[in-house]
Amino acid sequence: MPESKETYDAVIIGAGPVGLLLAVCLARWGYKIKNVDNREIPTLTGRADGIQPRSLHLLRNMGLKRQIMAHEPAKVYEVAFWDPLPGGKGIHRTGNWASCPKFIDARYPFTTLLHQGLIERVFINDLHKNGADVQRPWTITGFNNDGHDEHYPVEVTLKHVQTNERETVRTKYLFSGEGARSFIRDQLGVKIRHKDPISHVWGVMDGIVRTDFPDVKTKCTIHSDHGSIMIIPRENDMVRLYIQIASSTDKDFNPRKRATLEEVQASAKMILQPYYIDWDRVEWYSVYPIGQGIAEKYTIDHRVFLGGDCCHTHSPKAGQGMNTAFHDALNLAWKIHLVEGGFAKRSILHTYETERKSIAEDLLNFDAKYAALFSRRKPSAGEVGAANESKEAGEVNEFVEVFKSSAEFTSGYGIAYGPNQFNWSPDHSAQSHLFNPKGNALRTGRIMPPANVTRVVDANKVQLEQEIPLNGSFRIFLFAGVPSTTQRAVADFAANLEKQSSFYSSFQRKDIAAVSYHERHNPHSRFFTICTTFAAPRAQLEIAKLLPPILARYSDHVYADDVWDPRFPDAKAAAHAKMGLDVGMGGVVVVRPDGHVACVISLVEGGGTVDALNEYFGAFVAKKIGKSKMQAHL
């Protein structure tokens, strides 16, 4: 008889940002995971540190922002650009730019700076709350998708790094979050394509400094006659300095080139002249060689997946590594949840690679442009002095221009997934004429914009897009317009949701009879949460009178669109206006579990709206839906 082995829903190798976020999501949603890391202890200092605006928004949605902020991170609102002064007189500030400019509709328009270890600890604490942990110091020695067990097709062998104790387990999914050097990626034979052949060696130093340099508490990029440097403020009054030590464009380039701490400090002193800088303490110093690369595949068999630095590496300057890792993990987590929860066809897992690889390609293109400008020899003081109209002076502006034009992308709000079964487009198999109503301002594949509304039950002003926590469910936002006008359409919408064959009823919870009275988000189904927003003042809204029981059950998710928004100063219902939905008609916005807009549908009298939703979900759910006319009672 074959030996019985411990089984898992997912075995995750690596407990850096990508592995931990995947582990947290799956553990929260009830999956059995094993997360191993070959280091004895979590990251103590240094490494990645920048949480971009969209990532902080995500962490808030996971209920983790407060724990991050408890570490009192630095917040960067501005970037200052410094360049050489004419006549060799040192450097001067040539401009400032918002790190997340106003044209980006962000809840948190700043970068949060905190070292990777503190961020990892927030995730590890969350794992503990859900009965999981990181197994250290363990590593992987082999794996095989042998299919011997149809439910747990992948066998994984693990080993304790010090004692050599061994363990063999079976799993539904194996994930490599091993960082840039990945055993799993190598075993799969997945190649890294080097997009930009140029590689760099960076010196990175975190410490407490004394200086009269005025911008030490904001992010700065500094070009001088003595080299270039980047300054980033950190938690606990620390400052990070990045200095490029070598570049493969140098005549004498050596990727193993090192610089001592003292050499880097001496360079920093030269670059910052006429200002002084001295160190009270250095917390972390590392020399960090990095080339640009992207994995050719993120999976081969849709059982063994790769993510994070294992799939993409690039310079640290734009602070994207950890953020991209977060979104890789999130993208895979909810798709695994939909498949393993019995909701979606296994084929949806293909979209992990297509969606995330295209974002990594965009990131590397941006990074190559930015890094080239950062590394290019800057004009000498004499050249700049003579050069108001010269080409070199133009180069300095080009750097600022690239920074500005890329702000949306680097903030995380520019992430746009292309059309596929989740992100509706005219090529989608769902063809109802109710999709994409005229005037709607939303773009499928992009984040739903933030909107402030009043929660009807308690009169709290709340952030609509944050009201549904990251629970793996699709978020159905019913913008119900003016109640007197849309009453019939809302009633028909509810009646059609209740039909036994509707997308909604087809995925009813098995334990529906036992669901707690206090369940706010998933009273009927683990895959949907519904929010209803009326274009009316809160005082005029009485839930029991306005909403049929299926919608009234979500009483904590009924809102009044009566909060003034500076972006829509003349709108009576700013959230409707922001979405581009007519208050006389309303509309339905379906948002994916990760907050990206899936589709927008007109709200109409009769069955059309739910029929369109049946068509939309019918494109990827694991059951046939939308055919029977029988009624169900939820």
Q: Is residue 481 part of the contact set for ligand FAD (CB under 6 A)?
A: no
Residue among 47 and 57 whose Cβ is closer to ligand FAD: 47
What one-character DSSP code corresponds to residue 548?
-
Residue among 182 and 496 whose Cβ is closer to ligand FAD: 182
Q: Is residue 207 part of the contact set for ligand FAD (CB under 6 A)?
A: no
Least distance from C-beta 154 to ligand FAD, angstroms? 16
Q: Which of 201, 325, 348, 579 binds ligand FAD (CB under 6 A)?
A: 325
Residue among 13 and 494 whose Cβ is closer to ligand FAD: 13
DSSP for 350-370?
HHHHHHHHHHHHHHHHHHHHH
Report d(CA 116, CA 161) in Å as an integer.
Answer: 23
User: Which one of 313-321, 343-351, 548-556, 625-633 is the stretch in contact with ligand FAD (CB under 6 A)?
Assistant: 313-321
Least distance from C-beta 386 to ligand FAD, angstroms? 37
In angstroms, the Cα distances linking 540 to 456, 490, 562 are 10, 17, 11
Query: Pick from 507, 212, 180: which is nearest to 342 by CA?
Result: 507
User: Which one of 33-41, 107-115, 370-378, 482-490 is the stretch in contact with ligand FAD (CB under 6 A)?
Assistant: 33-41
Report d(CA 135, CA 311) in Å as an integer.
Answer: 23
Phi, psi of 466, rounded to the nearest 5 degrees: -100, -5
DSSP for 482-505?
SHHHHHHHHHHHHHHHHBTTSHHH
Report d(CA 616, CA 419) in Å as an integer.
Answer: 13
Least distance from C-beta 15 to ligand FAD, angstroms? 5
Is the Cβ–Cβ distance between 396 and 585 less than 8 Å? Answer: no
Distance from CA of residue 92 to its chain's centroid? Answer: 36
Least distance from C-beta 155 to ligand FAD, angstroms? 16
Least distance from C-beta 365 to ligand FAD, angstroms? 17
Q: Is residue 322 part of the contact set for ligand FAD (CB under 6 A)?
A: yes
Burial 379-395 (b: 16+ CB within 10 A, else e): bebebbeebeeeeebeb
Q: Is residue 12 part of the contact set for ligand FAD (CB under 6 A)?
A: no
Q: Is residue 498 part of the contact set for ligand FAD (CB under 6 A)?
A: no
Report d(CA 238, CA 205) in Å as an integer.
Answer: 10
Q: Which of 83, 196, 225, 309 binds ligand FAD (CB under 6 A)?
A: 309
Q: Is residue 19 part of the contact set for ligand FAD (CB under 6 A)?
A: yes
Rg (CA), the chain: 26
Q: Which residues contact 408 (CB under 8 A, 6 or more apart)?
A: 103, 104, 414
Q: Which of 35, 55, 99, 116 binds ligand FAD (CB under 6 A)?
A: 116
User: Which one of 35-43, 186-194, 229-237, 563-571 is the stretch in contact with ligand FAD (CB under 6 A)?
Assistant: 35-43
Other beta carbons within 10 angstroms of residue 245's beta carbon come to: 20
Q: Is residue 308 part of the contact set for ligand FAD (CB under 6 A)?
A: yes
Q: Is residue 13 part of the contact set for ligand FAD (CB under 6 A)?
A: yes
Q: Is residue 529 part of the contact set for ligand FAD (CB under 6 A)?
A: no
Instruction: Identify the three-state secondary structure at position 308.
Output: helix
Q: Is residue 316 part of the contact set for ligand FAD (CB under 6 A)?
A: yes
Q: Which of 9, 37, 83, 611 binds ligand FAD (CB under 6 A)?
A: 37
Instruction: Identify the three-state secondary structure at position 69.
Output: helix
Q: What is the dihedral of CA 107, 108, 109, 112, to 10 degrees?
A: -160
Q: Is residue 319 part of the contact set for ligand FAD (CB under 6 A)?
A: yes
| Conformation bin of residue 147: beta by default, left when phi > 0, alpha when psi is -120 to 50 | left
What one-character DSSP code corresponds to residue 435?
B
Query: Pick from 164, 123, 144: which is nearest to 21 by CA?
Result: 123
Least distance from C-beta 200 to ligand FAD, angstroms? 12
Report d(CA 184, CA 158) in Å as an integer.
Answer: 12
Residue among 13 and 591 whose Cβ is closer to ligand FAD: 13
User: Which one of 306-314, 374-382, 468-476, 598-606 is the stretch in contact with ligand FAD (CB under 6 A)?
Assistant: 306-314
Closest CB to ligand FAD: residue number: 16
Which tokens hold the place of 44? Answer: 């103590």
Which of positions 421-450 make contact with ligand FAD (CB under 6 A)? none
Report d(CA 515, CA 521) in Å as an integer.
Answer: 11
Q: Is residue 14 part of the contact set for ligand FAD (CB under 6 A)?
A: yes
Q: Which of 286, 425, 484, 631 binds ligand FAD (CB under 6 A)?
A: 286
Q: Is residue 117 part of the contact set for ligand FAD (CB under 6 A)?
A: no
Q: Is residue 136 part of the contact set for ligand FAD (CB under 6 A)?
A: no
Least distance from C-beta 315 to ligand FAD, angstroms? 9
What's the one-letter identity of residue 312? H
Which of positions 244-273 make contact with ligand FAD (CB under 6 A)? none
Q: Which residue has the tokens 């992430």?
A: 415
Report d(CA 138, CA 157) in Å as an integer.
Answer: 10
- The angle at the Cα of 614, spanning 612 to 616, to the nearest 5 degrees, equals 70
Q: Is residue 16 part of the contact set for ligand FAD (CB under 6 A)?
A: yes
In angstroms, the Cα distances linking 549 to 429, 490, 524 are 31, 12, 12
Q: Is residue 134 part of the contact set for ligand FAD (CB under 6 A)?
A: no
Q: Which of 56, 204, 415, 482 binds ligand FAD (CB under 6 A)?
A: 204
Least distance from C-beta 201 to ligand FAD, angstroms? 12
Q: Is residue 140 part of the contact set for ligand FAD (CB under 6 A)?
A: yes
Report d(CA 531, CA 187) in Å as an integer.
Answer: 46
Is the Cβ–Cβ distance between 611 and 626 less than 8 Å? Answer: yes
DSSP lists the bridge partners of residue 144 as 155
Residue among 308 and 587 whose Cβ is closer to ligand FAD: 308
Q: Is residue 47 part of the contact set for ligand FAD (CB under 6 A)?
A: yes
Query: Pick from 560, 297, 319: which is nearest to 452 by CA?
Result: 560
Q: Is residue 17 part of the contact set for ligand FAD (CB under 6 A)?
A: yes
Q: Is residue 91 part of the contact set for ligand FAD (CB under 6 A)?
A: no
- Per-residue mark of binding to ligand FAD, 169-188 (x: CB under 6 A): --------xxx---x-----
Q: Is residue 472 part of the contact set for ligand FAD (CB under 6 A)?
A: no
How many of the chain's residues bind ligand FAD (CB under 6 A)?
A: 31
Residue among 113 and 601 whose Cβ is closer to ligand FAD: 113
Least distance from C-beta 325 to ligand FAD, angstroms? 4
Q: Which of 22, 23, 24, 36 binds ligand FAD (CB under 6 A)?
A: 36
Q: Which residues bind ligand FAD (CB under 6 A)?
A: 13-19, 36-39, 47-48, 116, 139-140, 177-179, 183, 204, 286, 288, 308-310, 316, 319, 321-322, 325
